[in-house]
Amino acid sequence: MSGDTLAYEDALRIVLGASTRLPNEACSSTRCLGRVLATSVTSSMNLPPFDNSAMDGFALHGDTTVSAGTELEIEGEHAAGDGIARTRGGAWEVMTGARMPDGLDRVIPVEQTERLAASRIRLLAHVESGQNVRHAGSDVHHGETVLSAGTVLAPQHLMLLAALGIAEVHVAERPRVAVLCTGRELVDDPAQPLAAGQIRNSNGPFLAARLPLAGADVVHVETVGDDAVAFESALRRAREAGAQVIISSGAVSMGRYDFVPQALERIGAETLFHKVAIRPGKPLLFARLPGDALLFGLPGNPIAVAVGLRFFVEPALRVMLGLPNETPRRVPLFNAYSKKPRLRFHLKSRLRIDAQGRLAVEVLDGQESYRIRPLSDANAWSIVPADVDALSAGAYVDVYGPGHLEFPLPCESAA
């Protein structure tokens, strides 16, 4: 491995090349929310499964228009859930969702009729064939593909699966990920008072919360001090928990306590790159451990962790989940922006709609890698390429959502 600082695009190619698609598994359709569909779903039935009434009224038949003023005998009544009914002519009183009696092809709403007697009505409006009838297969045809492979299953998809009587689907196995935070200054317990020099661990909770939203299962979370031996032991525990991906934060720069590169060398890991021309997160390290688990060594600053997860770990997860490479949106800048050249910048941003209803992305103040508050105000990431040093308002930039399975809704109008 070269010690040179890689361009982002080169580093990403290495990450994608080292990542492998995981197997598929069967999953109950009642428990598949948020899972990535591995194979397309085809309907084995029509939806609706039979012609039914779209409203409460009377089902009729006619060779042409049945005219207002027509008087008909009420032959029977049919409610939702009733089976097949055979008719001799006349009108059938039907409820919304009721199966259409055989031979009847239209429904007049009850409010467009006049009751003449207990069993006789007069029509107050014309009624055409097919009027107010939901036809079998008008929503879904038998044999139709209703969900494509790669769909991230949402509640509306589960509604469709339930309506079609599909009890099980095949989904991508969720990548198993471990999180290791390093630093003797870190305090995990929010109730513990801080001693001089200590800070609270924010990276661990962030990663543990965001990884499930990215399609992964978090199988191990641990905080270790600035000790290579302790880190190696934590790596072993992460592997024993079944981790296919390990994310560490901290100890990857060039300081006295940045021991991760040496620890990886001692256990026989292959470091594929160390340092990328990005901001924040330049010291990022990527390695393959013995047994083929992948390790992403992220710098310790919170926003460097967020960028490393979003733009390195999540692309690897997409490969594992069988998803195509992510495509950003192109959105105009709300405000001008300038930066130092030679580094690709990942900027905490906010998608907005201006007073004229136009979509734009605002680069937020406070882009330093230690500043968490602007991240909490952000709903997107804006990318400024390495070879660009200034952009005017209105210039188009690549915009990504907070996670690869999420794209943000714009917030309130900008002033």
pLDDT tens, residue by residue, 192-238: 999 999 999 999 999 999 999 999 999 999 999 988 999 999 999 99
Residue limits of CATH 2.40.340.10 in the chain: 329-413
Does the pLDDT value for residue 412 go beyond 80?
no
Residue 414 pLDDT > 70? no
- The fold of 329-413 is Beta-clip (2.40.340)
Q: Is 322 a residue whose pLDDT tops 50? A: yes
Q: What is the 3-class SS of the chain, one letter each residue?
A: CCCCCECHHHHHHHHHHHCCCCCEEEEECCCCCCCEECCCEECCCCECCCCEECCCEEEECCCCCECCCCEEEEEEEECCCCCCCECCCCEEEECCCCECCECCCEEEEHHHEEEEECCEEEECCCECCCCCEECCCCCECCCCEEECCCCECCHHHHHHHHHCCCCEEEEECCCEEEEEEECCCEECCCCCCCCCCCEECCHHHHHHHHHHHCCCEEEEEEEECCCHHHHHHHHHHHHHCCCCEEEEECCCCCCCCCCHHHHHHHCCCEEEEECECEECCCCCEEEECCCCCEEEEECCCHHHHHHHHHHHHHHHHHHHCCCCCCCCEEEEECCCEECCCCCEEEEEEEEEECCCCCEEEEECCCCCCCCCHHHHHCCEEEEECCCCCEECCCCEEEEECCCCCCCCCCEEECC
Task: Give per-residue pLDDT as tens, 119-128.
Answer: 999 999 999 9
> Domain 8-22+174-320 classified CATH 3.40.980.10?
yes
Share of the chain above pLDDT 90, in %: 91
Topology of the domain comprising 24-47+138-172: Molybdopterin biosynthesis moea protein, domain 2 (3.90.105)
Residues of the chain with CATH 3.90.105.10: 24-47+138-172
* pLDDT attached to residue 4: 83
Determine the topology of domain 52-134 in CATH.
Molybdopterin biosynthesis moeA protein; domain 3 (2.170.190)
Which pTM does this prediction carry? Answer: 0.90
Mean pLDDT of 297-308: 98
Specify the pLDDT at position 62.
92
pLDDT tens by residue, 172-189: 999 999 999 999 999 999
**CATH 2.170.190.11 intervals, the chain:** 52-134
pLDDT at 2: 43
**Residue 411 confidence (pLDDT) above 70:** no
